[in-house]
Amino acid sequence: MPRMTGLTIPEVAARYRSGAATPTQVVEAYLRRIEALDPKLRAYVTVTRESALARAEAANRRLKAGTPAGPLDGIPLAIKDVICTKGVRTTCSSKILETFVPPYDASVITRLTAAGVVMLGKTNMDEFAMGSSTENSAFFPTRNPWDLTRVPGGSSGGSAAAVAADLAAGGLGSDTGGSIRQPAAFCGTVGLKPTYGRVSRYGLVAFASSLDQIGPFARDVRGAAMLLQAIAGHDPLDSTSTDVPVPDYEAALGQSVEGRRVGIPNEYFIEGMDPEVEQAVWVAIEVLKGLGARIEKVSLPHTDYALAAYYLIAPAEASSNLARYDGVKYGYRAPGNKDLIQMYGRTRAEGFGAEVKRRIMLGTYALSAGYYEAYYGKAQRVRTLVRRDFQQAFERVDLLACPTAPTVAFKLAEKEDPLQMYLCDIFTIPVNLAGLPGLSLPCGFTQGGLPIGLQLIGKPFDESTLLSAAYAYERATPWHRRVPELA
């Protein structure tokens, strides 16, 4: 019998088309693998076994009848537990939403369901997407499949770990300041944050509404392109969704990088970077040059201020968005209260974890009377300067290449200082502030066997160029073929 797991999304789809495997066979194989390996990896919060098998059987019937729902019909995916799924609990890895079951699907789930995708389950994350290690989950930390003593990155660490460990063929995450790209780098997968507005946020539980964006994880670039194709496009249910044409991303993969102008930001190669990361990224840039890309240095002078601006804007928006969790309409409610005020206070104190409370307090302070203009208003002006830096750079180049993160995956409980954790996102945060598309893909390994990520950054709504450059690089290198050895 042919292998049922260990395949990319295009390879699974090809097996279905040739009749070498059925969706039920593949989904059953993934469920067995989850049962065997996830107890030590802890990528999943909820495994939807029964509904996955039912969806697989429906895909069987469509494929047998010659009427597949599309190229993703029967493909098993892992979904970050911040994306609403009708009838399946959506916890955001928080005690306050531990039993919350949405009455509706997020728009991306509606689109994937129409495409025939099989959801294997909901994946662990940093609580309300606030973190860079998936250690802030209220339930348990997720471990990196390359080294179980290390973090998978965050906040979409569960989805990244599930794809890397072959507990799903692909997955969805969300990215507010690097939460798809950084775990993709730490786990050795492809992770894509689309342009803000390219993918609907309807049904994404909000952290910072002007920064959040849903995107795919996959084992290779073509798989990421196929997932983006399914979820991209205008959605009238999301007022921030942009009505611009969605190109054929798979067709774009055939475009050569010859003649493409690739900018190297001076500010993204800094003192204190892991030397192995820096070396691997420079070697990757030389590979792109060897493929015909034109390499030139560019400057993004306001990069130094991006981190500070982000940690005012994102907590301020989180403070507003998370005000709804008060124990009244849904979610956890602290028992035994004498009045409404006590119930509010105790519910939020008991329901939120330390990092979420830290950011709510930071954001509330930044928005408070007398401080709004000094903090939040000034941060928004800095955001404009960051965006202008990118605009000026893109007048000279087609895309940017740089490290995804300054280090590889660190040990569990290694970064107890919040500031040290925040610095993990120093190369990803500016992309969110500017609303640009960014992609991370493997570009090497340390001597200790940990993956290193190359980040490509594109012009607004030009995911095609990112995907084509990433695909050209992927075909010229072996890194995407390496997989972790899990017993």
Give per-residue pLDDT as tens, 386-433: 999 999 999 999 999 999 999 999 999 999 888 889 889 999 999 999
Mean pLDDT computed over 178-195: 98
- What is the strand order of the sheet 451-458 is part of? 44-47, 118-123, 76-80, 170-174, 214-218, 190-193, 438-445, 451-458, 399-403, 261-265, 294-298
DSSP character at residue 268: G
Identify the sign of the CA torsion 454, 458, 463, 468. Answer: negative
CA–CA separation, 299 and 338 (whole Å): 58
The answer to whether residue 15 scores a pLDDT higher than 60 is: yes
Encoded amino acid at 406, one letter: P
pLDDT of residue 369: 86
pLDDT of residue 271: 87
pLDDT digit string (tens) for 29-47?
Answer: 999 999 999 999 999 999 9
- ∠ CA 14-34-148, nearest 5°, is 110
pLDDT digit string (tens) for 66-116?
Answer: 999 999 999 999 999 999 999 999 999 999 999 999 999 999 999 999 999
pLDDT of residue 4: 82
HEC per residue, 439-463: EEEEEEECCCCCEEEEEEEECCCCH
> Cα torsion for 352, 105, 167, 115, to the nearest 10°?
-160
Architecture of domain 9-263+401-481: Alpha-Beta Complex (3.90)
pLDDT digit string (tens) for 49-77?
Answer: 999 999 999 999 999 999 999 999 999 99
pLDDT of residue 487: 54
pLDDT digit string (tens) for 236-249?
Answer: 999 999 999 999 99
Core vs surface per residue 260-298: b (16+ CB within 10 A) or e? bebbbbebbbeeebbebbeebbeebbebbeebebeeeeb
List C-alpha distances in Å: 167 to 112, 153, 218, 344. Answer: 18, 17, 12, 39
pLDDT digit string (tens) for 220-235?
Answer: 999 999 999 999 999 9
Encoded amino acid at 283, one letter: V
The answer to whether residue 141 scores a pLDDT higher than 70 is: yes
- List, in sequence order, every residue forming a beta bridge with 214; answer none if it has no partner: 174
Mean pLDDT of the chain, nearest integer: 96
DSSP character at residue 373: I
Smallest CA-to-CA distance from 365 within 322, 324, 315 is with 315
Helix (H, G, I), strand (E, B) or coil at 147: strand
- ∠ CA 51-53-58, nearest 5°, is 95
Q: Which residue has the tokens 């180049």?
A: 397
Smallest CA-to-CA distance from 399 within 464, 309, 318 is with 464
List C-alpha distances in Å: 426 to 80, 230, 303, 370, 383. Answer: 23, 30, 9, 29, 14
Q: Which two tokens stand for residue 104?
A: 């509706």
Q: Which two tokens stand for residue 9?
A: 């999304």
Residues that are catalytic: 80, 155, 179
Q: Which residue has the tokens 């928004």?
A: 380
- List, in sequence order, every residue forming a beta bridge with 357; answer none if it has no partner: none
Give the E-state strand segments of 231-273 in sequence order: 261-265
The answer to whether residue 2 scores a pLDDT higher than 70 is: no
Residues 6+ apart with CB under 8 A from 69: 59, 62, 114, 115, 116
Q: Which two tokens stand for residue 71?
A: 């190229």
CA–CA separation, 321 and 208 (whole Å): 7
Mean pLDDT computed over 252-281: 95
- ∠ CA 324-328-334, nearest 5°, is 105
